[in-house]
């Protein structure tokens, strides 16, 4: 049973002698299987016991809500080759550490799903311990092999401070979070990638207002760009809502659901919503014209070929140009014209930045549970950590 216990809990070189329980913790008493130890200086094995100190207590794990501790003897041996004493060093504990490697792994993995304060309370550890372990993680891993479709988008780190999210849309992988929303941050990141890695990229995906698009395109000169369809639809819906406030003013409380209902594709409307829109459009015909434009854009993304999509996009631009000159939608026609090829590139592989937006949703949830961050480096590593599986985290932690 002792050998089985040692194998199961990775107590290499030790076996469990007994286990004690109390209300808050479980203590496992270990004894060494060998009467010898290897000298760290010369690598020779010594059997001459120099000193037997007090029991060493280290944290190891969590089990059934209780903290698992290990109690093992502090043995010092005398090396006859070096003529110096040395301390026995278990493989599963770092030198002078008060926790095992397994404890650090579990705590860091728990940090990927919870806040610092929650993990500190659950594992009876400190913020400094978790921060130091987190900062030791090397998350700058190479890009996946094969064809890559990169997604770039920005998100808020703290109020107006923005960071850039880089994802791989094929494998749905978070590649990096750049520390600032700047040209230099993009250059520093892409300069660290090899020519072989950059040659794997076959498509880039941005939103309509991504400010660092030009610098990214300089690193991938012949790679087609796709404008994310959700941002195009959102932009049009936003401009229609601005027009709505002038078409039917002073009706905010009465028609508070109108904006949300108008953003739905017609095919997804239930009967009650259709009747509601018919009633509104009968009172405000100009609103119906704008809603028809939005539905045309929804149908545009359902086109089966790029040529058919090009014809639909031209119809949308013509419809917008026929609106009143004071309409907020008028400049959008020029935007669609200038970005026409980038928007139509969607039909090559139906690429969207939906995964990147999903990453941002999870990041927002983690920020709320963590009550904000002061250190940008810790913020980046904690967010990256949330998208790594347990097996990968165990490889990244230093042993």
266-280, 310-324, 327-341: the lowest-pLDDT one = 266-280
CA-wise closest residue to 27 among 59, 56, 62, 70: 70
Higher pLDDT pick, 380 / 390? 380
175-179, 275-279, 387-391: the lowest-pLDDT one = 387-391
The per-residue pLDDT for 149 is: 96
The per-residue pLDDT for 87 is: 82
Task: Give 76-129 pLDDT, tens digit per residue.
Answer: 888 888 888 888 888 888 878 888 888 888 888 888 888 899 999 888 899 999
Q: What mean pLDDT is predicted for residues 150-177?
A: 92
Task: Give 228-280 pLDDT, tens digit per residue.
Answer: 999 999 999 999 999 988 888 766 555 557 888 888 899 999 998 898 889 88
Q: What mean pLDDT is predicted for residues 301-311?
A: 93
Mean per-residue pLDDT over the chain, rounded: 87
Percent of the chain with pLDDT over 90: 46
CA-wise closest residue to 209 among 332, 309, 34: 332
Q: How many CA atoms lie within 13 A of 136 on its CB side?
A: 16
Positive or negative torsion for Cα 291, 297, 298, 299:
positive
Distance CA 255, CA 267 (A): 21
């Amino acid at each position: 049973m002792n050998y089985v216990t040692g194998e199961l809990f990775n107590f290499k070189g030790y076996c469990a002698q007994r286990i004690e329980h109390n209300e808050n913790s479980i203590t496992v008493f270990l004894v060494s299987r060998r009467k010898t130890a290897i000298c760290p200086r010369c690598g020779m094995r010594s059997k001459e016991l120099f000193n037997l100190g007090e029991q060493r207590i280290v944290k190891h794990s969590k089990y059934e809500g209780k903290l698992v501790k290990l109690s093992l003897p502090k043995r010092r041996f005398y090396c006859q080759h070096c003529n110096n004493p040395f301390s026995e060093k278990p493989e599963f504990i770092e030198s002078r550490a008060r926790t095992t490697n397994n404890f650090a792994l579990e705590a860091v993995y728990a940090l990927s799903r919870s806040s610092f304060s929650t993990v500190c309370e659950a594992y009876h550890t400190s913020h400094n311990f978790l921060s130091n372990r987190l900062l030791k993680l090397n998350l700058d891993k190479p890009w996946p092999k094969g064809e890559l479709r990169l997604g770039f988008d920005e998100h808020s780190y703290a109020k107006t401070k923005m960071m850039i999210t880089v994802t791989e849309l094929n494998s749905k992988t978070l590649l990096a979070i750049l520390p600032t929303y700047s040209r230099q941050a993009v250059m520093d990141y892409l300069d660290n990638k090899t020519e072989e890695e950059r040659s794997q990229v076959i498509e880039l995906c941005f939103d309509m207002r991504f400010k660092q698009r030009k610098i990214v395109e300089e690193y991938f000169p012949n790679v087609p760009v796709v404008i994310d369809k959700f941002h195009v639809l959102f932009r049009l819906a936003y401009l229609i809502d601005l027009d709505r406030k002038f078409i039917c003013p002073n009706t905010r409380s009465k028609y508070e659901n109108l904006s949300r209902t108008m953003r739905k594709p017609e095919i997804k409307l239930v009967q009650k919503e259709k009747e509601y829109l018919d009633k509104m459009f009968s009172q405000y015909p100009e609103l119906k014209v704008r809603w028809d434009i939005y539905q045309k854009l929804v149908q545009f993304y359902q086109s089966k070929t790029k040529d058919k999509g090009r014809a639909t996009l031209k119809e949308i631009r013509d419809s917008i140009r026929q609106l009143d000159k004071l309409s907020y939608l008028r400049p959008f026609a020029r935007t669609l014209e200038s970005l026409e090829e980038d928007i139509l590139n969607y039909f090559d592989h139906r690429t969207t930045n939906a995964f990147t937006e999903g990453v941002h949703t999870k990041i927002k949830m983690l920020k709320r549970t963590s009550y904000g961050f002061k250190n940008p480096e810790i913020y980046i590593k904690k967010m990256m950590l949330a998208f790594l599986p347990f097996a990968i985290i165990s490889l990244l932690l230093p042993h």
